[in-house]
């Protein structure tokens, strides 16, 4: 019958709207480095400052995944996993130095094949021109917070404003002017924020000035029960966060600095790019705070606490812009009468350390960087305020989008559709354990390569580069992962976790474990360790 209708439409020159066009639209809002514990709905230790009222409302209207994890905690690889539904060793993008093969199978290409209109705006971080999208504009690399450049099919284009607002504007413009009526769509809104160097919009520069941020209980962790890997990283708020370039102390467009200094200088470069009005707003906000810091003459733990406060406030100021974006996009969907048939999803590429264990950044398989937020509002399907406790990962996003669209899921996709969980039709346990593998070493922050497994209670990690080193945690008794039980736990339990880990490596066909390096090769990369 559908074939006859199509033939009739062809001869009469009219369009026939089929039942397939009632498939849900998908708006996927994806931020960078937004830790779940910096979202009110996740009930973390930053909830008291009400950081995300709009995202919290999305959770109140949909389903929050409490045990959502990444497969490789770093920007580009997480995005590659989402595009393909495959682990890093399968999609070929294992660290940020790689280039993504856009010719391979991705979920947007598959959605287009079943009639979806697709668009992407914001941070891609996969190099090359995106494929599988009818319309796209992406940031070059990390992009800039103020007056960012965008790569477009026509070339590079500068758009003035704060990056979070600009990306949202592009998405809103697409919804209002470029969307095809009657055709289902998938819109990806990918924010740079709250990635380092945490430069808030002008309107948020004074947000949180009048409060003290709560401190994480592990701010002064000394990693006494970890392997050597945790002791000799380079991501400490105390020792590695740059007081000028990361915390903006005395930072101006003509800041006099050591050109040989190796640190992220994107905030300084961004200040040089700002308009005079933007620079004035920036210095009006930070100048008095800088003066107060110099008068205080802090040292020791007091200095660490000051750095944490400055960092956490700037981080959450950037989060505020993302939160406002979520609210604005939902308002536009309602205005266009699309909200009843649009799935709105909020996630981020991984978690992040906001002073937890004394750190910033991500990369580790420890909970704060391993967990990623996932909130889904599917009108008429998800129950408002529902919480799912199953173990899910970003390999599951691609098959979920395909299942929502009624498309076939290719057999080589390694993830599983979350639709049965969203519809509360899952029978039995969704997954017994999740698998993780991090590869980017030697590199910034000097976190060594490792892989591991997490069940609903235990976590086992193997750091394999500099001699065989293991860590294991009982997350029920020790959620902060302060006590490594690898040597003290029941042997049968440890052996069982090791077998489960190897079974998952076989299941995901991961044979990318490289030989261990002798310690002498460590010199120049991790010099403290080699001494």
Rounded Cα distance between 480 and 347, Å, is 23
Domain that holds residue 457: 436-530
Q: Which residues contact 485 (CB under 8 A, 6 or more apart)?
A: 472, 473, 474, 478
The pLDDT assigned to 518 comes to 52
- CATH, residue 470: 3.30.1120.10
In a domain, 193, yes or no: yes
In a shared domain, residues 39 and 146? yes
For the chain, give me the number of helices (H) and strands (E)? 15, 18
In a shared domain, residues 151 and 248? yes
The pLDDT assigned to 517 comes to 54
In a shared domain, residues 369 and 225? yes
SS3 sequence of 280-345: HHHHHHHHHHHHHHHHHCCCHHHHHHHHHHHHHHHHHHHHHHHHHHHHHHHHHHHHCCCHHHEEEE
Structure tokens at 273: 């790019």
Indicate the number of domains in the chain.
2
In a shared domain, residues 367 and 465? no
- How many CB atoms neighbour CB 248 within 10 A? 25
Q: What is the pLDDT of residues 480-498, one digit of tens each?
A: 999 999 999 999 999 999 9
In a shared domain, residues 218 and 269? yes
The pLDDT assigned to 247 comes to 98
In a shared domain, residues 424 and 503? no
In a shared domain, residues 148 and 32? yes
Length reported for the chain: 531
Q: What is the pLDDT of residues 177-225, one digit of tens each?
A: 999 999 999 999 999 999 999 999 999 999 999 999 999 999 999 999 9
In a domain, 12, yes or no: no
In a shared domain, residues 408 and 325? yes
In a shared domain, residues 460 and 377? no
pLDDT tens track, the chain, 531 positions: 334 434 444 444 433 333 346 899 999 999 999 999 999 999 999 999 999 999 999 999 999 999 999 999 999 999 999 999 999 999 999 999 899 999 999 999 999 999 999 999 999 999 999 999 999 999 999 999 999 999 999 999 999 999 999 999 999 999 999 999 999 999 999 999 999 999 999 999 999 999 999 999 999 999 999 998 898 899 999 999 999 999 999 999 999 777 778 889 999 999 999 999 999 999 999 999 999 999 999 999 999 999 999 999 999 999 999 999 999 999 999 999 999 999 999 999 999 999 999 999 999 999 999 999 999 999 999 999 999 999 999 999 999 999 999 999 999 999 999 999 999 999 999 999 999 999 999 889 999 999 999 999 999 999 998 788 999 999 999 999 999 999 999 999 999 999 999 999 999 999 987 655 554 444 444 434 332
In a shared domain, residues 227 and 91? yes
Cβ(433)–Cβ(67) below 8 Å: no
In a shared domain, residues 191 and 319? yes
The pLDDT assigned to 262 comes to 83
């Amino acid at each position: 019958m559908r074939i006859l209708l199509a033939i009739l439409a062809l001869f009469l020159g009219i369009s026939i709207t089929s039942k397939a066009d009632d498939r849900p639209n998908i708006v996927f809002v994806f931020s960078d480095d937004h830790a779940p514990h910096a979202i009110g709905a996740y009930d973390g230790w930053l909830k008291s400052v009400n950081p995300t009222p709009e995202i919290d409302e999305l959770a109140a209207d949909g389903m929050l995944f409490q045990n959502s994890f990444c497969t490789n905690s770093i920007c580009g690889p997480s995005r590659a996993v989402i595009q393909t539904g495959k682990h890093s060793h399968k999609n070929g993008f294992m660290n940020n130095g790689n280039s993504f093969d856009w010719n391979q199978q991705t979920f947007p290409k598959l959605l287009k094949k079943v009639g979806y209109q697709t668009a992407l705006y914001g941070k891609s971080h996969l190099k090359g021109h995106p494929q599988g999208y009818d319309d796209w504009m992406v940031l070059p690399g990390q992009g800039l917070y103020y007056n960012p450049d965008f790569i477009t099919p026509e070339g590079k284009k500068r758009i003035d404003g704060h990056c979070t607002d600009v990306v949202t504007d592009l998405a809103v413009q697409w919804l209002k002017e470029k969307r095809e009526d009657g055709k289902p769509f998938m819109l990806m809104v990918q924010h740079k924020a709250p990635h380092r160097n945490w430069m808030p919009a002008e309107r948020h520069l004074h947000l949180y000035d009048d409060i003290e941020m709560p401190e994480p209980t592990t701010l002064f962790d000394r990693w006494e029960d970890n392997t050597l890997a945790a002791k000799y990283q380079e991501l400490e708020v105390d020792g590695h966060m740059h007081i000028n370039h990361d915390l903006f102390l005395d930072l101006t467009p003509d800041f006099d600095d050591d050109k040989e200094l190796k640190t992220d200088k994107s905030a300084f470069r961004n200040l040089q790019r700002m308009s005079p009005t933007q620079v004035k707003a920036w210095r009006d906000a930070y100048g008095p705070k800088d003066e107060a810091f110099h008068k205080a003459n802090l040292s020791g733990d007091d200095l660490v606490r000051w750095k944490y406060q400055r960092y956490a406030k700037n981080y959450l100021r950037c989060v505020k812009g993302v939160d406002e974006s979520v609210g604005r996009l939902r308002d536009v969907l309602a205005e266009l009468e699309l909200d009843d048939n649009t799935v709105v999803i909020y996630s981020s590429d991984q978690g992040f350390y906001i002073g937890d264990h004394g750190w910033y950044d991500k990369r580790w398989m420890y909970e704060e960087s391993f967990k990623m937020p996932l909130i889904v509002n599917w009108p008429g399907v998800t129950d408002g305020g529902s919480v799912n406790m199953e173990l899910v990962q970003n390999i599951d996003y691609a098959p979920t989008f395909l299942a929502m669209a009624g498309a076939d899921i290719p057999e080589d996709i390694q993830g599983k559709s979350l639709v049965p969980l969203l519809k509360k039709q899952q029978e039995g346990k969704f997954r017994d354990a999740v698998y993780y593998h991090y590869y980017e070493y030697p590199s910034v922050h000097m976190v060594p390569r490792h892989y591991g497994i997490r069940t609903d209670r235990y976590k086992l990690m193997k750091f394999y580069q500099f001699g065989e080193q293991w860590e294991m945690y009982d997350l029920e008794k020790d959620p902060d992962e302060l006590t490594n039980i690898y040597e003290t736990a029941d042997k049968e339990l440890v052996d069982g976790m090791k077998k489960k880990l190897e079974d998952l490596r076989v299941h995901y066909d991961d044979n990318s474990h490289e030989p261990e390096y002798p310690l002498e090769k460590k010199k120049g990369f991790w010099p403290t360790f080699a001494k």
